[in-house]
Amino acid sequence: MTLLGDQLAAASGLMHPTHIRRYNSPAATKLQTYGLHLHDIRSAAAAFEHLTPTDAKGVEERSLSGVDEVLWCGLSVTYCRCFDGGARKPFHLIPQQVFGDDKDGIECHQWLWGTRNMYHAHDLNDRRFAAIAVVLDQEAREFYFQALSAIVSDVGVSHRTIGQLISYVGQFVESEVLRLTMCVEQEILAMSPKDRLALDSLVIDVATGDAQKSRTQKRPAPVEEGGR
């Protein structure tokens, strides 16, 4: 077994674990996607914990560099990936389903989405500033020049609101993971030992094995959970 396989076997609590199988069903497919959502939201929350407001109102307005830039980038990218229909379809999060009639939540979500698209992932606005500055004497005979670059955070929502947003989405995803976990558990309980052994082996080596296989497989159409 790989290190991850050993850890999985130990976590099972079984006396003599010898088989690791992959289970597939509509509920299982959705659960594994929500597992990715949960990982990303927890990553966003971890990044947010290290971003503290710089003024009494809790609004972040400062030039970013180093760790600050990495934290903001990680927060927006991992958060928005959960809502990305290209990466997580058909089980990506839908803002209207998550936030309902909460206009403040939708507004904060849209700000983070725009930050990811227009700022961290692409240079599509003036938050990234770059220029060649030329300093001249009065007669322009002597000069000095320097390449300038700056990354500016212009947060339009409060630090507290961003934290509440991430926390709310995290709770939404956790509740769905719990519901789907119970559903998949009931499905596997309903199988006979013979049927469980007949499941395909799960290759734990995500770098060269199972991950590559799963990316080439056609994704099942979204259907109601509860059946195999």
Average pLDDT over residues 123-135: 70
User: Which of helix, strand or coil describes residue 21?
Assistant: strand
Within 16-89, residue ranges assigned H as helices are 26-49, 67-81, 85-88
Among the residue ranges 62-71, 123-132, 181-190, 207-216, the one predicted with the least confidence is 207-216
Cis preceding-peptide flag for 222 (omega within 30 of 0): no
| pLDDT (0 to 100) of residue 211 | 47
Average pLDDT over residues 114-136: 72
Distance of CA 81 to CAs 1, 88, 132, 154, 218, Å?
A: 31, 8, 35, 21, 20
Residue 59 binned pLDDT confidence (cut-offs 50, 70, 90): very low
Residue 122 binned pLDDT confidence (cut-offs 50, 70, 90): low
**Which tens digits make up the pLDDT trace of 76-116?**
889 999 998 887 889 999 999 999 999 888 988 988 888 78
| pLDDT (0 to 100) of residue 154 | 54
| pLDDT (0 to 100) of residue 65 | 57
Give this prediction's pTM: 0.74
- % of the chain beyond a pLDDT of 70: 73
Token pair 């991430």 is found at 166
Contact 227, 188 (CB under 8 A): no
Which residues on adjacent β-strands are paired with residue 61?
A: 154
Tell me how many helices (H) and strands (E) the chain has. Answer: 9, 3
**Which tens digits make up the pLDDT trace of 13-55?**
888 878 889 999 999 999 999 999 999 999 999 998 887 655 5
Higher pLDDT, 199 or 150: 199
For 117-184, the DSSP string reads IIIIS---STTEEEEEEEEE-TTSSSEEEEEEEEEEEE--S-HHHHHHHHHHHHHHHHHHHHHHHHHH
Provide φ and ψ at 142, rounded to 5°: -105, 145
pLDDT exceeds 60 at position 225: no
Spell 84-107 as b/e; 16+ CB within 10 A means b: eeeebeebebeeeebbeeeeebbe
Q: 41: closest CA among 94, 78, 88?
A: 78
Q: Within 13 Å of residue 53, how many CA atoms lie on the same side as its CB?
A: 14
Q: 67: closest CA among 140, 129, 151, 171?
A: 151
Planar angle of CA 106, 110, 113, nearest 5 degrees: 140
Nearest-angstrom CA–CA distance, 146 and 166: 40
Spell 174-190 as b/e; 16+ CB within 10 A means b: eebbeebeebbeebeee
Higher pLDDT, 62 or 76: 76
CA-CA-CA-CA torsion sign (66, 71, 76, 81): positive
pLDDT exceeds 90 at position 169: yes
